[in-house]
């Protein structure tokens, strides 16, 4: 067959059997029908699978951040607000920067170039380069037009009052969620709910088309606090001065509205700036008014006197013999700083006699004292929602020995927080009842009031506490020109390692004006070490300064003649 052309090959002249022609044609037609049917099925009937696969390659659902609600004081002054910022992120696979570009970007972002290169060398699909940049700085990064480097709109919390309101407000984390204080207590309400939208992105992650809004964001709600920014600043200023003058370790001030239970001020020192938390330590973060307990010392005595009055054990003028200035119970001896002889019940509070108050306490059953302490709220948290809030220490009455019952009457063997003590004095500032404590502004008077003592008992103890700040009492430095003031000092040794150390907590809790109590101020100074450690010397002046400024801020009318304060007599030394 050499030399024969392929087109002339005799094999091509052979005819195929007719059945083979028809079979091949039928198979081709069948295949065509199958393809057409499959195409119709996928595109017209069951098109979700391929549609989902296709959209997965270019469509994305991205979150839309909800703006966090503002926090304001009771008058509308902004205390916390979210400001727009931008975060720089990258797709490492696409971010092929030259050494010069890496250096310029690192310098602009104030980063180490090695850290930047490490992030861009990651095998992940997405990395944050730098979070929460000011928009003007982010614009400079954008102007560099670097491949694989992108930006994302976010929010950052800003606190105009800085360290003055730090412990009250707390702060948010990098994701704008509450971490401390009011920010955490009301996080769900403040946060709102993020929305989402569907977009088309190219392979580099750039949005090329906004398709639709899937869910609009639900913006966070604003919170109006009970706090008064002016009173807060007063408390902060005078507490700081007292800490410095007395070379103290720490301190706290709480200001309550006696009528409503609203927290008008809450200050702790040391404090911190929530706008710059780069070098925070635990001591700065502690909200001492709610998380630290202390033995209240003589500020506890009015409650024992009130209970004794309530139980009919004594009257306002019942005489109690405190001579010879000491009292032995078992193997322990209770001392007064001075021998007073016979004192009335009112004078026991005025002079702060340990012997006198111990005799009143021992005239009652331990269970009666425990029930009173429990009804006031000692031994349990106030449940304000603050992180780390504690309830203090109140042991079961069945375990009390007589000496323990006696020492508890003047504030040893029991521990409280400053906020608990401020709230407890509502029972004397009001007519023997307590209201719940409120972080937020109240527009209507509280209705869930808890009666602790009778109105008559509350008025009698109020008169005793007014005597305590007058000449012959323990706290003449708590007096305020033009206002009648009532309150009680407290000085207690600190417990360290199960034993009392030569360190003190000086405190004062009181209210004004006595004729119609409006405010309660509780002051605690921890470890004063500049030669003075009594509550009447260290904490009472802070009370007077804060209370005077707060009453004037609120426009409370004076209830006493403006005359020189009677402080010429030295204060009676407190018993510890």
**E strands, 39-194, in order:** 59-64, 71-72, 78-90, 127-133, 149-158
- Give tens-digit pLDDT for 522-558: 999 999 999 999 999 999 999 999 999 999 999 999 9
Structure tokens at 507: 């405190």
Write down the pLDDT at residue 58. Answer: 55
Is residue 306 situated within a structural domain? Answer: yes
Is residue 22 situated within a structural domain? Answer: no
Q: Is the same domain home to 255 and 396?
A: yes
Q: Is the same domain home to 405 and 541?
A: yes
Q: How many distinct structural domains can be found in the chain?
A: 2
Domain edge (last residue) among 190, 225, 260: 225
Peptide bond into 270 cis (omega under 30): yes
Which residue range(s) make up the domain with 334?
A: 229-553
**Spatial separation of the C-alpha atoms in residues 458 and 470, rounded to whole Å:** 19
Q: What is the biggest distance separating any 2 CA atoms in the chain, rounded to whole angstroms?
A: 149
* Phi-psi region at 379: left, alpha or beta (left = phi > 0; alpha = psi -120 to 50): left
CATH of the domain at 159: 3.90.1310.10
Crossing angle (nearest 10°) for helices 99-108 and 113-120: 110
Domain edge (last residue) among 225, 258, 274: 225
Strand pairing partners for 89?
128, 150
Domain edge (last residue) among 199, 225, 251: 225
| Residues 556, 335 contacting (CB under 8 angstroms) | no
Q: Is the same domain home to 286 and 161?
A: no
**Spatial separation of the C-alpha atoms in residues 296 and 388, rounded to whole Å:** 20
Is residue 340 situated within a structural domain? Answer: yes
CA angle 359, 365, 367 (to 5 degrees): 135
| Residues 414, 394 contacting (CB under 8 angstroms) | yes
Is residue 136 situated within a structural domain? Answer: no
| Residues 164, 253 contacting (CB under 8 angstroms) | no
Write down the pLDDT at residue 149. Answer: 86
Q: Is the same domain home to 239 and 218?
A: no
Residue of 87, 191, 298, 539 with catalytic role: 298
Write down the pLDDT at residue 566. Answer: 59
Q: Is the same domain home to 221 and 233?
A: no
Q: Is the same domain home to 179 and 246?
A: no
pLDDT tens for each residue of the chain, 576 residues long: 566 566 666 666 667 677 777 888 888 888 888 888 878 776 777 666 666 666 555 555 656 677 899 999 999 999 999 988 888 888 887 787 888 888 888 888 888 988 888 888 887 877 888 888 888 888 888 888 888 888 888 888 999 999 999 999 999 988 888 999 999 999 999 998 877 666 565 555 555 555 555 677 788 999 999 999 999 999 999 999 999 999 999 999 999 999 999 999 999 999 999 998 877 777 888 899 999 999 999 999 999 999 999 999 999 999 999 999 999 998 999 999 888 899 999 999 999 999 999 999 999 999 999 999 999 999 999 988 888 899 999 999 998 999 999 999 999 999 999 999 999 999 999 999 999 999 999 999 888 899 999 999 999 999 999 999 999 999 999 999 999 999 999 999 888 877 888 899 999 999 999 999 999 999 999 999 999 999 999 999 999 999 999 999 999 999 888 776 655 555 666 655
Is residue 98 situated within a structural domain? Answer: no
Is residue 569 situated within a structural domain? Answer: no
Is 161 a catalytic site residue? no
SS3 annotation, 135-177:
HHHHHHHHHCCCCCEEEEEEEEEECCCHHHCHHHHCCECCCCC
Q: Is the same domain home to 367 and 437?
A: yes
Q: Is the same domain home to 432 and 543?
A: yes
Is residue 429 situated within a structural domain? Answer: yes
Write down the pLDDT at residue 576. Answer: 56
**Spatial separation of the C-alpha atoms in residues 117 and 478, rounded to whole Å:** 62
φ, ψ of residue 503 to 5 degrees: the values are -130, 150
**Spatial separation of the C-alpha atoms in residues 438 and 260, rounded to whole Å:** 8
Q: What is the dihedral of CA 401, 408, 305, 436, to 10 degrees?
A: -120
| Residues 500, 218 contacting (CB under 8 angstroms) | no
**Spatial separation of the C-alpha atoms in residues 505 and 416, rounded to whole Å:** 12
Q: Is the same domain home to 257 and 317?
A: yes
CATH of the domain at 411: 3.40.710.10
Is residue 201 situated within a structural domain? Answer: yes
Q: Is the same domain home to 244 and 209?
A: no
Task: List helix spans (H) across 218-353.
Answer: 229-245, 282-285, 288-291, 301-310, 345-351
Q: Is the same domain home to 303 and 275?
A: yes
Q: Is the same domain home to 212 and 360?
A: no
């Amino acid at each position: 067959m050499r030399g024969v052309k392929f087109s002339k090959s005799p094999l091509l002249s052979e005819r195929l059997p007719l059945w083979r022609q028809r079979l091949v044609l039928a198979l081709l037609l069948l295949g065509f029908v199958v393809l057409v049917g499959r195409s119709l099925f996928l595109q017209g009937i069951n098109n979700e699978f391929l549609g989902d696969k296709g959209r997965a390659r270019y469509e994305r659902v991205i979150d839309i951040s909800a703006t966090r609600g503002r926090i304001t004081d009771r008058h509308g002054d902004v205390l916390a607000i979210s400001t727009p910022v931008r975060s720089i992120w990258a797709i490492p696979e696409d971010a092929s920067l030259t050494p010069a570009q890496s250096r310029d970007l690192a310098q602009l972002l104030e980063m180490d170039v090695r850290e930047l290169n490490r992030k861009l060398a990651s095998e992940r699909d997405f990395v944050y380069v730098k979070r929460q940049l000011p928009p003007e700085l982010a614009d400079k990064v954008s102007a560099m037009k670097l491949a694989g480097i992108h930006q994302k709109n976010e929010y950052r919390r800003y606190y105009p009052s800085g360290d003055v309101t730090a412990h009250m407000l707390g702060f948010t984390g990098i994701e704008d969620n509450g971490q401390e204080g009011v920010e955490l207590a009301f996080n769900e309400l403040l946060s709102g709910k993020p929305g989402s939208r569907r977009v088309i992105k190219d392979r580099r992650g750039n949005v090329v088309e906004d398709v639709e809004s899937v869910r609009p964001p639900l913006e966070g709600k604003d919170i109006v606090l009970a706090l008064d920014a002016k009173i807060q600043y007063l408390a902060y200023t005078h507490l700081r001065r007292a800490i410095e003058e007395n070379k103290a370790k720490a301190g706290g001030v709480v200001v309550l509205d006696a009528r409503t239970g609203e927290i008008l001020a809450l200050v702790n020192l040391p404090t911190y700036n929530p706008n710059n938390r780069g070098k925070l330590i635990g001591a700065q973060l502690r909200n001492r008014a709610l998380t630290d307990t202390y033995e209240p010392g003589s500020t506890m005595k009015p409650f024992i006197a009130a209970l004794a009055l309530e139980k009919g054990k004594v009257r306002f003028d019942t005489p109690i013999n405190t001579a010879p200035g000491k009292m032995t119970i078992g193997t322990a001896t209770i001392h007064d700083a001075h021998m007073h002889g016979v004192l009335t019940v009112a004078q026991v509070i005025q002079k702060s006699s340990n012997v006198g108050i111990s005799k009143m306490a021992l005239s009652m059953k331990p269970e009666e004292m425990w029930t009173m302490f429990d009804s006031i709220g000692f031994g349990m948290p106030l449940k304000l929602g603050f992180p780390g809030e504690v309830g203090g220490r109140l042991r079961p009455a069945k375990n009390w020995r007589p000496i323990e019952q006696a020492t508890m009457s003047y504030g040893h063997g029991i521990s409280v927080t400053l906020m608990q003590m401020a709230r407890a004095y509502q029972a004397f500032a009001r007519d023997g009842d307590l209201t719940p404590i409120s972080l937020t502004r109240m527009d209507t008077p509280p209705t869930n009031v808890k009666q602790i003592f009778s109105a008559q008992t509350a008025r009698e103890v109020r008169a005793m506490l007014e005597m305590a700040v007058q000449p012959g009492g323990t706290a003449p430095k708590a007096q305020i020109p033009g206002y009648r003031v009532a309150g009680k000092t407290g000085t207690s040794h600190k417990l360290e390692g199960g034993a009392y150390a030569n360190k003190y907590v000086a405190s004062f809790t009181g209210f004004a004006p006595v004729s119609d109590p409006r405010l309660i101020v509780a002051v605690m100074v921890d470890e004063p070490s500049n030669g003075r450690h009594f509550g009447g010397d260290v904490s009472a002046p802070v009370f007077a300064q804060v209370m005077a400024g707060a009453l004037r801020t609120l426009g409370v009318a004076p209830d006493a003649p403006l005359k020189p304060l009677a402080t010429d007599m030295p204060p009676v030394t407190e018993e510890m």
